[in-house]
Amino acid sequence: MNRYTFEISYNGKEYFGWQRQPRQNSVQQEIEDALTKLNRNEKISIVGCGRTDSGVHAKRYILHVDLTDQIYNVNLISKLNKMLPKDIVVHQIQQVDKDFHARFDAKNRTYRYFIHQQKDGFNTDFSLYFPSQLDLKAMQDACQYLMGKQDFTSLSKLHTDVKTNICEITLAHWVKTSENEMYFEITANRFLRNMVRATVGTLIEIGEGKIKPEDFKTILEEKDRGAAKASVPAHALFLWDIEY
């Protein structure tokens, strides 16, 4: 058995997130089922670089798996892409050290959240339509309070099974790509469940002038999910990159 990494991407619209769950369709299940079929129906398990919630997409996602020589060959990518649904794509497979771990060895993860402010019938699945005026400078100013290593309980889903809510953010900013389109980009060593969507929801409230940029500091200090604002919808969120 050798260990391999798969670089994949997926449209999360039809999936209940990355992780396999009872009675729910997941990206992990689709890939494991395809590999199991290639393994004469002997179960193969994969390990992903992290969870993505229901409806969230991934432009670059890394998983690792242990495979026999009978399964791994030069045609494996082609075989899998024929077997997998059209919204899951395998781009690259590489052999790695046997102790490599897709989740625990990841140094940083980057997410992007997309917003468009002019109605666009072709952009509805991957970007949030938000026609109200936003103060981009205020939203940009508020990003400074996210930086560094701190407790992000205020931006985390309640009752999760993680041992700590401490994360270290190294990048958080807004990028305007056209007159009516922008995205929020954030990089950290780890993320809590719902953290990016709660962050964007709070930043939008700042952009609308409902709260001030400096209020974000107070929200984080309270360590209370009720202090932050509502989460934005999942369909505009992408896991954009993984750094090892």
Amino acid at 96: V
- Quickly tell me which residue has 């939008």 as its tokens: 204
Instruction: Using the 3D structure, point to which of 96, 121, 148 is the last residue of a domain.
Output: 96
Q: Note whether 139 and 159 are same-domain residues.
A: yes
The answer to the question of residue 115 being in a domain is yes
The answer to the question of residue 235 being in a domain is yes
CA angle (65, 107, 241) in 5-degree steps: 75
Q: Note whether 137 and 186 are same-domain residues.
A: yes
The answer to the question of residue 196 being in a domain is yes
Q: Note whether 166 and 132 are same-domain residues.
A: yes
Q: Note whether 71 and 34 are same-domain residues.
A: yes
Per the structure, the complete domain to which residue 181 belongs is given by: 108-243
Q: Note whether 203 and 229 are same-domain residues.
A: yes
Helices in the chain by DSSP H: which ranges? 27-38, 76-83, 136-142, 195-207, 215-222
CA atoms within 13 A on the CB side of 53: 18
Query: How much is the pLDDT for 227?
Result: 86
The answer to the question of residue 103 being in a domain is no
Report percent pLDDT > 70 for the chain: 99
How many domains is the chain partitioned into structurally?
A: 2
The answer to the question of residue 194 being in a domain is yes
Distance CA 240, CA 58 (A): 6
Determine the angle formed by the axes of helices 27-38 and 76-83, rounding to 10 degrees: 120
The answer to the question of residue 167 being in a domain is yes
* CATH at 195: 3.30.70.660
- Mean per-residue pLDDT over the chain, rounded: 95
The answer to the question of residue 203 being in a domain is yes
Catalytic residues: 53
- What would the pLDDT profile of 28-85 be if each residue is shown by its tens digit? 999 999 999 999 999 999 999 999 999 999 999 999 999 998 898 889 999 999 999 9
Residue 134 has a CB neighbour count (10 Å cut-off) of 19
Mean pLDDT within 140-155: 97
Q: Note whether 138 and 206 are same-domain residues.
A: yes
Q: Note whether 22 and 78 are same-domain residues.
A: yes
Q: Note whether 158 and 210 are same-domain residues.
A: yes
- What would the pLDDT profile of 172-204 be if each residue is shown by its tens digit? 999 999 999 999 999 999 999 999 999 999 999
Angstrom CA distances, 208 to 40, 102, 203, stand at: 56, 39, 9
CA 169 to centroid of chain Cα atoms: 15
CA 106 to centroid of chain Cα atoms: 13
pTM of the model: 0.94
Residue 159 reports pLDDT greater than 70: no
Report percent pLDDT > 90 for the chain: 90
Instruction: Using the 3D structure, point to which of 65, 96, 127 is the last residue of a domain.
Output: 96
The answer to the question of residue 33 being in a domain is yes
Q: Note whether 164 and 51 are same-domain residues.
A: no
